[in-house]
Amino acid sequence: MPLHFDASHFVGPKIQSLQTENLRLQEKVKELETKNALLNLRLANNQNETRNVREDIIRFKVLNEVQWRTRTRMSAQFQETKKRLCEIKSDLKNLESNVRYAFDGAQNLFDGHLQDLMLRFEKAQLKDGDLGELIGRVTELEDALQEANDNHIKEKKRRRKLHNTLIELRGNIRVHCRLRPLQNFDNRLDHFKEEFLERGDACGSPTNLGELGSPSEQVIHPIDDESVVVTQQKPGSTAKNFEFDHVFFPEDAQDVVFNEVLPLITSLLDGYNVCIMAYGQTGSGKTHTMLGNEKEPGVVPRSANELFKLIDEKAPGSVSVHVSVVEVYNNEIYDLLSENPKSTKHEITSTEEGGLDTTSTIQMQVHCSAEIEKWTAHGLRNRAMIATKVHEHSSRSHLVVTLTVTNHETTVSSPRKSSHEHSTMASPSLLSKKARRLPQPNLPTMTCKLANSQNSATCDDRDAIVTAGDSYKTKLQLVDLAGSECVGMSGVTGPALRETSCINRSLSALSDVLCALSEKRSHIPYRNSRLTRLLQDSVGGDAKLLLMLCVSPAQRYLVESMQCLNFGQRARQVQRGPPKKRGYSVMDSPTRPLSPRDSPLGGRKLRFQ
């Protein structure tokens, strides 16, 4: 019989023990897995470290390489430097020996000279008399040198005087050239440059102007007081020299310029007609030269001053002065002393005496230079002004200030009581009437000292000293011409363009007249313009004429400046015969007929002769 036993008694504990074993094994597995994970982590760390170490090794290798190369290079440089040092040391040695040699030589030379000097000194001491003689000779030589210097200065003066006499005998036009200093507005190129680039007109090419905004360089330089040189005309061209009767440097002040004009004012009182005319492009300094400003008065106020200084040396009442201020604008003559200058156009006509006359321009009698200045200022307020791009206050007209000097030949009559007339030309005269009608430009209540009178007389008192008898007139024309630039330069259009072309035409007419005169042509085209007609007596006649060329020395004006300098050269060629002296004595002109206008009491207004 099969053994029958209950297996559940064995299986249950077995399963339990197996389950326990299983649990234990599972925990073991977990533990091992954890260990494995840790080992993996450590392995990864180790691998990382190994990689870092490898990279370090590579870096070290590179560094090592670099160091090796640097060491090699430095070693080569060191060798080179060492070699150079050896060379320098050897040079130094050579130098030292050379210096020592040179020094020894110099020392020997010095010793030789010293000995020589000592010997000479001893000799000189021995011959005291010779020393005295030597000193005497030196003094003689110094004196001779001084004399030679004095003679040179005298000769120079004599040469200039002779030159002036020659000029006067030939009737040459005296031409002075004044270079003005560079001005701030010389650098304002922006506007012009564009215009020139667009138009490229006849006045100049863009190459004449410097770089945009850059300072315009000085290209016209004075050489001495008689010549100027123009550099940089065109790239590659040579410098050009011009000679004039006098050249003023940019730094020359107004008094220096006037000193050269001064003799002409004396000539005016000596009986000569005189004309001083400023020519040049706008902005070149014409108005500055002729009128100046309060601080730096120009030729007009200085001439007025000088004239009255000279008059004060004469007998009271022997000379009277009248002033007129006219402008030539758009080829018409306007009287700037009249109430409404633009209302009347004035004509120039020939007189019976062969002179020229403008109809009805006002001649104000003046008694002091201050009065001339006041009337000139009054006239200037009426002068046509228009802003151009060249110069903000560009004058678009020719201004002519005329001082007419009447010399009364006879003795002074008794002074009258005070007169309220402005003119000695008697009350019925047109002039006096006009003068009374004029708005008076705040004339100062001034006293005009008479040098040779013990008392000072007021202007009114001077009016009262009336003379009678023969008289002669001379006139001083002071002309501030309008700018000589051509149309394109000013950038003007419309009415201003007409003004500019009128200016151009009148200046061309002036140039033509000078050309015809220099070529001694039979026909001189004075009638081509009112300007030349107005100045006919002075330019072509027997006046002493001074042309003052005003020149801007900056590169941007080169074309205009060259035109101006050439104009001056042409004017110098003109020979008109000697200037004529007015006035006469009983000896040289006993039968001169008296014309009504010669008499200060003739009841007529003064006119241009």
* Residue (355 or 553) nearer to Mg ion, CB: 553
Q: Whole-number minimum distance, CB 491 to ligand ADP, in Å?
A: 15
Determine phi and psi for 78, rounding to 5 degrees.
-60, -45
Rounded to whole angstroms, the Cα distance separating 13 from 7 reads: 11
| Residue 379 contact partner, candidates Mg ion, ligand ADP, none, CB within 5 to 8 A by sort of partner | none
**Residue 473 contact partner, candidates ligand ADP, Mg ion, none, CB within 5 to 8 A by sort of partner:** none
Catalog residues that contact ligand ADP under the rule CB under 6 A: 180-181, 183, 280, 282-288, 391, 394-395, 483, 550
User: 184 vs 343, which CB is nearer to ligand ADP?
Assistant: 184
Query: In terms of Cα–Cα distance, which of 289, 201, 204, 291 is closest to 252?
Result: 289
Q: Is the Cβ–Cβ distance between 280 and 549 less than 8 Å?
A: yes
280's contact among Mg ion, ligand ADP, none, with CB below 5 to 8 A by partner kind, is: ligand ADP
Q: How far is the CB of 480 from Mg ion (least distance, A)?
A: 6
Amino acid, res. 91:
D
Closest CA to 480 of 332, 286, 283: 286
Question: Interface with Mg ion includes 490 (CB under 5 A)?
Answer: no
- Contact (Cβ atoms closer than 8 angstroms) between residue 319 and residue 406: yes
Strand residue runs (E) in 451-508: 457-458, 471-480
Q: Does 395 bind Mg ion (CB under 5 A)?
A: yes
The 3-state DSSP class for residue 467 equals: strand
Pick the piece of the chain touching Mg ion (CB under 5 A) from 311-319, 363-371, 387-395, 574-582: 387-395
Least distance (Å) between residue 492 CB and ligand ADP: 14
518 binding partner (options ligand ADP, Mg ion, none; Cβ < 5 to 8 Å by kind): none
Q: How many residues does the chain have?
A: 609
Question: What are the distances in angstroms from CA 234 to CA 198, 204, 281, 513?
Answer: 21, 11, 20, 30
| DSSP bridge pairs for 448 | 457
In the region spanning residues 270 to 289, those forming contacts with Mg ion, defined by CB under 5 A, are: 286-287
CA distance 55 to 30: 37
CB of 285 to ligand ADP, least distance (A): 3
Helix then strand count (H, E) for the chain reads 14, 18
x/- binding map, residues 9-28, to Mg ion, per CB under 5 A?
A: --------------------
Q: Are 539 and 513 in contact (CB under 8 A)?
A: yes
CB of 202 to ligand ADP, least distance (A): 21
CB of 576 to Mg ion, least distance (A): 27
The H or E element spanning position 323 is strand 319-329
Nearer to ligand ADP, 286 or 322 (CB): 286
CB 368 within 8 A of CB 360: no
Instruction: Please identify, using beta-carbon distances, which residue of 286 and 544 lies nearer to Mg ion.
Output: 286
Task: Indicate the residue among 177 and 269 with the shorter CB distance to ligand ADP.
Answer: 177
Closest-approach residue to ligand ADP (CB): 285
Residue closest to Mg ion (Cβ): 287
Residues 6+ apart with CB under 8 A from 533: 348, 356, 526, 527
Distance CA 236, CA 490 (A): 28
User: CB of residue 320 vs ligand ADP: minimum separation in angstroms?
Assistant: 31
| Residue 386: CB minimum distance to Mg ion, A | 12
The smaller minimum CB distance to ligand ADP, of residues 431 and 562, is found at 562
Residue ranges binding Mg ion (CB under 5 A): 286-287, 395
